[in-house]
Structure 1
Amino acid sequence: MNKDRFPGQRRATYLTTCLIACGLPFPAIAGESLIVTQPMHLGDWLAGRVNAQATAAPQTDNPLYPQGVSWFAHRELALQEAQRQQLLLDIGALRDKDPTRSIARDAVYGLVDARSATGRVSLKSGDGRWLQGNPASDPMLQPGDIVKIPDRPQTVTVIRSTGSLCVIPFQANAEALHYVLACNSHASPDTAWIAQPDGTVSRFNIALWNREQQDAPAPGAWIWAPDRGEQWPDDISQRIATFFATQGVSETDDPRMRPTVDMPVPPPSMAARSRDFPITGGDWGSVGILQTPTARMNPAGEASFSVSTVNPYTRINVMMQPVDFLEFGFRYTDISNQAYGPADWSGSQSYKDKSVDAKLRLWKESAYIPEVSVGVRDLAGTGLFSGEYVVASKRTGDFDWSAGLGWGYVGNRGNLPNPLSIASSRFNNRTGSDGTGTLSNSYFRGRTSLFGGVQYQTPIDKLILKLEYDGNNYQHEPFGETLKDKSPFNVGFVYRATSYLDLSAAFERGSRLMLGFSLHGNFRNAETMKVGDPKPLPITPPPVASKVNMAAPRSELSDVSAANFAPAPTDVKEVDASATPAVANAPATRTLHLQPVVMPEPTQAGDQTQAPIVAPEPATDWHKLADDLYAQMHWRVVSVRRRGEDLLVEFDNPDAFYIQATLDRGANVLNREAPAGIRTFTLQVRQRGMATATYTINRDAWYASHARVVTPSESTPVVVQRPPLTTQQVDGIDQVFAEAPKRFSGSIGPGYAQSFGGPNGFLYEISAVASGEMRLTRTSWIAGAINFDLLDNYGKYKADTVSSLPPVRTDIRQYVTSSRVTIPMLQATKVGRVGESGFYSVYGGLLESMFAGVGAEYLYRPYGSHFAIGIDGNEVQQRGFRQDFSMLSYRTFTGHITAYWDTGWQGIQANVSFGRYLARDVGVTVDVSRRFRNGVTMGAYFTKTNVSSAQFGEGSFDKGIYLSFPFDIMLSRSTGDSGRALWEPLLRDGGAKLNRAYPLYNVTDMSDPRSLWYGPPSIGK
């Protein structure tokens, strides 16, 4: 190979020159190196080196190892040294906190202390051609940087808590645990951190009780897997592995790093490697064996729809996992041996029971302690199948064992007394169901029974076997029935036909066959490639102005408001290694980056001879820029204003859910077409004419983030969300383009409604909906919809109870069937701001399908706050059944005070409303939900008013479970629209709210401090 083909290219024997030249504590690794003397792209050098190697004479030494390509950036030394010092401080603090483990802490402290920061920055690929094709991942090397392509290592290194390194020959397919046991056969680690040769760090569970699918260490990897008894905190273990990842590949020329041990046993075959433990549902839809639950939980975001049938019950279950410690859902149970009611009323319809389940994990499994959960079946339902349980689960490899204690239906075998009777004799007796759904006084009462079982993951990955002991003997079934119970043992299997479909079968009660299926998936990971979006424009460098008179001020926008309209900062603060480590080691945020730009010195005031000549700026086609922005963003531009180096673009009613991605497409257009003198783009959004948020984009930073890799020490935000500019501030900026907001808009689409669980079975309506809107002013409009009923069977609807309340909802049959053409909504609305944090709306018309009237709302929502409070009041009258302009005689006032709280914890939102409902009842509604980063929301609500359970009817109080989602997760084109699936056990008149259009909390949602946080799951990969 011609080693002088690229400047600075040398073998390892010449690395001393680099160490003297750039001061990097460079690991002595055999291979090829590049000492950078002038700026260049890494991809160009790597691609050229491959070409040179292809034409060179065959080499006799070890082949080069592209997977271990290391880029050592001198400018990263200060930050990495600060992080190293902080790591040493934290390890020292652990030693002081627990002196019994001081020997291990001191040993690891010494191991880290003996090594220096290197400035290594991880790369997404060591393939030069790939880097050339992905400029945003291709580093721009600077003078003083070093690039190293090592020879292919032959070993893997285990970092031991004794302060020594155990070097082992690499074995294909060997997992981390095999290397750890090769170094110490008595080791008992639970978790391993693997620093792969490319610099990435992964964490895997490796013990018998928590083993999961994992990547095998590659040649040259580092492994840190402390024993469970040493109790190293996970965050410190992660940082130890990250530090060693900066050291490069683990094999060096140091003679002390020669293999110390051989692999004692052959590594497993690919078929025998670790697998993720399967979490499966039982007959009741929740995670369990068959009839019995387990303590296990699905990952947060999981949802499932399942059906199981075992005579005489057919269960339809919908379960959701909003957080990793809570599972809840609802169920319809068809009881085939029981009629819903008298034949002249319900016909041949069998009984349909509605119920809600919940399960809460009390603590997670560890090496010696099982996972424990407590759960309730038929929570606030009819109580026909109500039961409670406490259950523990423990895994041993491919087996998962469960045992628990059940009350009620779960423990109807009743072979044990209630252990809670020690606290009170009241726990000895359990009352029967009253069928109303009232929160029961019978929870955890009555005799109990043990239950338990085991799940086994067979060598066939898709096949799971199940065996259980059932705590129910089926002698106390609903409606006084008894079922044959030949055996307390049930046996069955689950076959995972696809990643989202499970098929199950079992032999239960010693006499009955159970069949079932489950559709499941994790909604937090849902996304769709946007193949329908406009093709992204090529990234181009910002145009360069011919000459810039530096005597002129950079921007006059500071005169408007330095706080409200300032460019994103581009200065990079130098990190001193002696600075407070916590600052240098702050958690990473989703930021883009830029190197500091050195500006020429301004001319002296009054020295006209030094002022350069400013060439006239080419004219900008503002109409084209607005059209291109709409084509790329689908946001309509209403004005463009300019002052100095800053450009303000205002958008009307932006239509997007993933704001960050949309802003990125807009920044590309602005970077290509805005005048060369513009350095900052400010995009202000108006929702219903009200400015709600401003996003500032630094032009140079944005381009740098798309043109090259930026290092952690260069980080500075590219997009900054700020409070909106006031009307006075905007009007003070010169306008270069204006376009009136779109006055008319409309659409035609499908409509669908359903009801299930009453005496009439499944009810549905399929329709076509034409909707339209006319803007009156910037902040007022008229909107309406016409519904064309295409197909429905609501003519069969019969209310299954008679309520003493006004029929504000239970007359649904008349509203659906009286006319095929209806007007579900026709409303005039005016909105506005009151000060900086207040919003108002007034409205009137046909407010929803069943009520018309007038109303007003006020919302106090400080910008960026996690709290908001609103109040609304509405004078309404019940509409005629044909949903035209006719009215019934019933009139009332309804309104609520609502507090909104974004808890800031795991995306959980809590809303509480107090007020008067449509049936003139007074009470409170509590709504708790969890929103994931991709916008999917799982939630539940309940309403309790001054209406008694007897007045309310079956169900006792209003409640529901919902799943809302942005259409972005399922459509191939970006959109701001969203959908909602709501389940309510029964439609009742108590606790009924007015379905208001345009609630202000939704209208002002872009003022949410998390608006830039939302995005598809792939943005984090």
Structure 2
Amino acid sequence: MPPAPVLRRLMASTLPAALLLASTGSVSVAQPATGWALNSYGLPGGIDTPSAEMFPDATISASAGQSSYGWRVTGAFQLTPRITTALRYSRIESKNLDAKRDFLKDRSADVRIQLLSEDAGWMPAVAVGLQDFIGTGTFSGEYVVATKHLTDRLTGSVGVGWGRLSGTARERDREDIGGTFKADNWFRGPARPFASMAWQATDNLRVVGEYSQDDYDVEAEQGEERPGSHFNLGVNYRYRDIYQLSAYTLGGKVFGAQVSFSMNPNQAAYPSGLEKAGAPVRPRPAPNADPEGWSGAWSSDPTAQPAIQQALAASLRKEGQILEAMALSANRAEVRIDNRRYMQQAEAIGRTARLMTRAMPPSVETFVITSTRRGMPTSSVVLRRSDIERLENTEAGQIAAVADIVNGDPRVAGMTQTPGLFPRFTWSLRPSLGTGLFDPDQGLRYDIGLEAKASYEIIPGLIASGSVRQRLLGNADQKAPGSCIQPDGSTADCTVDQFLDLTDGEQRARNNGVQRVRSDGRMYSGNTKPTIPSLTLAYYGKVTDTVYARVTGGLLERMYGGVSAEVLWYPADSNLALGAEINKVRKRDYEGKFGFQDYEVTTGHVSAYYDFQNGFVGQIDAGKYLAGDKGATVTLTREFANGWRVGAFATKTNMSAEDFGEGSFDKGITLQIPVAWATGQPSRQTVGGNINSLSRDGGQRVKVDGRLYGTVRDSSAAGLNQGWGKFWR
């Protein structure tokens, strides 16, 4: 084995290349080795030790485990077939691990890369991993591990580890704010072996034994007993490939248990959906059976288009779509549709095309189906009617090959708006759930209530909308940030009244000179009276064939109100989009109604979006943030054809890590889950949002509904192609 410094330099130089190769799947032609049993860190492995196994591609898992050493909650995502990522939230009872508390609540992140796949011969799967590579380093460790299926039911893993995995916990500074990459520690220090053996007793029951180097020195310093032995034993029971229950002992002295849950966006409960099939294509009659229809003479009748438009609009309405406008000539028909039902825009277009074969006279050969979003024509799919008739019973790829996707033209001669559509009013009343995660003092905060939403579209693109929320129950009570001098001279958490008595300058002085733009978010919680999260008037327009624009004014979000303006260049057939946004906002008061505070700021960003055509979309936003800091946010999102989106983002600005505070810089994950994936019923509704490690003030943007890229993305060529398999659904 090479000396540790040499090996560390080798790993540091090869890890970026390995990450790139693993993401493209080009390291090996064999399939990645997968495993279902989770270790105590929420990843495939033994009990405390890792294996070289991966989850099945795209798997999302969550696990919660507890022992006398504390508890861990881990969320993991199989980013690509060869890259596993994880976020973890842990608690250790502590007398000296945290300068502010008598316990340590630790946030950490892992990444594992499978470099080599197991083959049918002697070659094992080989992986390299970083454990707690961005955090305080409490569980920090690195490893290289090999895993081999020795028989159909016996699997062995052997590896070498550093840090916690070598039994050498890395020293932690009590004042460490965490959230930084400590690359100088990677693959450094003593390197020691670990191993595990797993026996698959039944299809659902697994017994595992391991040799682990972790002495739990960090936890033992808090008065807990060490495991007493390096040999651990555990069992895993799986139910329906979704749930897992684990129990284990560390050295025969410490016992623990864990429950886990996993799901895969690629595996819906109802893969084909439960919606009714679309109307079949109606073949045109022979020319001699309808000579007038084939000749196009009908187009000179002024009553023809209104009658056809009315009939098609009624048919589309039953399909959950709105026929906003139509232009019709003897051999060409263009319709503009607003899809209100189907997650995949390609399904809406396919159903529209079939209904057009039933509504249009035989002479109409060219169909142009233009998608609209908030009154803006985004892209147009151009189809020959004869191709639709010829390819109805073939795979969707064949109709995709003859379809032409072009920019939606904002100005089309002869385009007639469907009567009676505007103004258009919609509303809903639904339960609301607000959550806060990973706070060092309270790991889960929640608010449950009711929310009424309404939208009034005055003319195409001009939309007034708002919401009213009433809290019913929850533990996200109003709490003031920071500490204040109490009447007895002691220092303690500020009361709400004490915080409200502070000026903006005093608040900044108590916050490292940084304006509180998000860290006082809990001051907006706990309202027992109705609040108004948003109330806006927005205008959306398409300036040219490839340029979109938006202006939004009002109560933009629960913490800020003002004016937001945005432009986006996004050709329908381009993988690249470019945008710019400017916001002039003022901070709202804590009552959640129409009052404002004194703080006012102008922020702005330029943005670049790129679709990598492999399911991943990248985004870079650079500019000025709410606290006046300047920098950039990088986001990478994996998108699935069924509407799932899982991503991660990180923001680095000119605000120092010390001024930012705990966490060092802003980062988090994004999650969007389509309701249709779970219910099988067609719907464009999604649930999810951003999950931040902490709510701090650096790198914070205004939250504006209806930003342009997300509005038009699914009807671009890239979005349509991703869901084209639903065209004939």
Q: Which residue of 1 aligns with 2:137?
A: 383
In 1, the alpha carbon distance for the partners of 2:591 and 2:559 equals 10
In structure 2, the partner of 1:372 is 126
Q: Which protein is bigger by CA-based radius of gyration?
A: 1
Which of 177, 180, 192 is matched with 1:449 structurally? 192
> Which residue pairs with 1:317 in the alignment?
74
Gaps of 5+ in 1: 1-232, 236-275, 415-428, 557-615
* Per-residue Cα deviation, 1:738-790 (whole angstroms, up to 9, x for no partner): 45345222212121111233313421111211111222332222211111111
**1:764 pairs with one of 436, 446, 461:** 446
Matched, 1:507 2:245: no
1:329 maps to: 86
Q: Deviations over 1:906-928 (max 9, x none)?
A: 21111111111111111111111
> Counterpart in 2 of 1:45?
none
1:876–1:1019 CA distance, 2 compared to 1 (3 A): closer
- Residue correspondence of structure 1 range 99-248 to structure 2 within 5 A: none
Which of 352, 355, 366 is the equivalent residue of 1:669?
A: 355
1:877 and 1:892 in contact (8 A); partners too: yes
Q: What displacement does 1:540 show?
A: 4.7
Name the structure 2 match of 1:185: none
SS at 2:652's partner residue?
strand
Counting only pairs closer than 5 Å after superposition, residues 817-856 of structure 1 correspond to structure 2 as: 817-856=526-565
The match for 1:985 is 693
- The 8 Å contact of residues 371 and 715 in structure 2, kept in 1 or not, is answered as no
Cα distance between partner residues in 2 of 1:710 and 1:356:
42
1:351-366 alignment to 2 at 5 Å?
Answer: 351-366=104-119
SS in 2 for 1:320: strand
The residue type equivalent to 1:702 in the other structure is: I
CA distance in 2, matches of 1:530, 1:551: 37
Tell me, in whole angstroms, the C-alpha distance in 1 between the residues paired with 2:294 and 2:457: 46
Deviation at residue 306 of structure 1 after TM alignment: 0.9
Corresponding residue of 2:470: 788
For residues 878-919 of structure 1, give each alpha carbon's deviation from its aligned partner in whole angstroms, at most 9, with x where no partner exists.
110011111111111111111111122x21111111111111
Which residue in 1 is equivalent to 2:387?
701
Q: Which residue of 2 aligns with 1:95?
A: none
SS at match of 1:771: strand
CA distance in 1, matches of 2:727, 2:574: 25
Deviation at 1:529, TM superposition (A): 6.3
- Using the TM superposition, give the Cα deviation of residue 442 of structure 1 relative to its aligned residue in structure 2, in angstroms: 2.1
Q: Judge conservation of contact 2:582–2:605 (CA < 8 Å) in 1.
A: yes
Task: Check if 1:303 corresponds to 2:12.
Answer: no
Cα displacement (A) at 1:995? 0.7
Consecutive unaligned residues of structure 2, counting only runs of 5 or more, are: 1-27, 484-509
Q: Which residue of 2 aligns with 1:98?
A: none
Q: Distance in 2 between matches of 1:479 and 1:948?
A: 32
- Does residue 748 (structure 1) correspond to residue 426 (structure 2)? The answer is no
In the alignment, which of 951, 957, 970 is matched to residue 665 of structure 2? Answer: 957
Instruction: Select which of 637, 643, 646 maps to 2:323.
Output: 637
Is the Cα–Cα contact under 8 Å of residues 35 and 53 in structure 2 kept in the other structure? no
Q: SS state of the match for residue 817, structure 1?
A: coil
Hey, what does 1:422 align to over in structure 2? none
Distance 2:443 2:626 in 1: 27
The whole-number CA distance in structure 2 between the counterparts of 1:848 and 1:675 is 49
- Quick one: distance in 1 between partners of 2:418 and 2:644? 37
Aligned residue in 2 for 1:463: 205
> How many Å apart are 1:817 and its aligned residue?
2.1
Which structure has more relative contact order (CA 8 Å, sep 6+)? It is 2
CA distance in 1, matches of 2:327, 2:540: 25
- The AA in structure 2 aligned to 1:297 is M
Tell me, what secondary structure is at the counterpart of 1:671?
A: helix
Residues 621, 633 of structure 2: 8 Å contact kept: yes
Which SS does the other structure have where 1:473 is aligned?
coil
Return the offset for 1:519: 0.8
Shift of 1:989: 1.1
Task: Say which SS state the counterpart of residue 525 (structure 1) adopts.
Answer: coil
| Residues in 2 aligned to 1:653 and 1:306: alpha-carbon distance in whole angstroms | 38
How far does the alpha carbon of each residue in 1:356-395 deviate from its partner, in whole angstroms, 9 at most, with x for none?
A: 1211222323334332222122222222222222222222
Contact 2:329 2:364 (C-alpha < 8 Å) held by counterparts:
no
Q: Give the structure-2-normalised TM-score.
A: 0.83
Q: Indicate the residue corresponding to 1:623 in structure 2.
A: 310
**Shift of residue 796, structure 1, vs aligned partner:** 6.7
Aligned to 2:709: 1001
Instruction: Report the counterpart of residue 42 of structure 2 in structure 1.
Output: 285
State the identity %: 28
- Contact kept? 1:962, 1:983, Cα under 8 Å: yes
Tell me if structure 2 keeps the 8 A contact 1:648–1:681.
yes
Kept in 1: contact 2:376–2:461 (CA 8 A): yes
Retained in 2: the 8 A contact 1:871–1:896?
yes
Query: CA 1:792–1:973 in 2, change beyond 3 Å: closer, same or farther?
Result: same
Equivalent in the alignment of 2:521: 812
Q: CA RMSD in A?
A: 3.4
Amino acid at match of 1:858: V
- Tell me, yes or no, if the aligned pair for 2:551 and 2:565 is still in contact at 8 Å: yes
- Larger displacement relative to structure 2 (325-334 or 758-767): 758-767
Q: Is the 8 A contact 2:298 2:304 kept in 1?
A: no
Pick one of 125, 150, 157 that aligns with 1:396.
Answer: 150
From the superposition, tell whether residues 745 and 485 of structure 1 become closer, same or farther in structure 2 (CA, over 3 Å). Answer: same
Give the total of aligned pairs: 665
User: CA 1:535–1:839 in structure 2 vs 1: closer, same or farther (change >3 Å)?
Assistant: closer
* 8 Å contact from structure 2 (residues 609, 619) kept in 1: yes
Paired AA for residue 487 in structure 1: S
Equivalent position to 1:720, from 387, 398, 403:
403
Residues 648, 683 of structure 1: 8 Å contact kept? yes
Structure 1: distance between partners of 2:123 and 2:275: 51
Cα deviation for residue 1019 of structure 1 reads 9.1
**Structure 1 residue 776 corresponds to structure 2 residue 458:** yes
- 1:168-215 Cα shifts (integer Å, max 9, x gaps): xxxxxxxxxxxxxxxxxxxxxxxxxxxxxxxxxxxxxxxxxxxxxxxx
Q: Which amino acid aligns with 1:319?
A: A
**Pair 1:694–1:508, CA change in 2 (3 A):** same
Structure-1 separation of matches of 2:214 and 2:724: 45
> Could you tell me how far 1:1018 is from its partner in structure 2?
8.9
Say if 2:331 is the partner of 1:650: no
What's the CA shift for 1:293?
0.7
Distance between the aligned counterparts of 1:711 and 1:915, measured in 2? 42
Q: 1:717 to 1:387 in 2, by over 3 A?
A: closer
Q: CA deviation at 1:453?
A: 1.0
1:438/1:619 Cα in 2 relative to 1: closer, same or farther (>3 Å)? Answer: closer
C-alpha separation between the residues in 1 aligned to 2:728 and 2:313?
31
How far has the Cα of 1:512 moved from its partner? Answer: 1.7
Pairs within 5 Å for 1:856-935: 856-904=565-613, 906-935=614-643
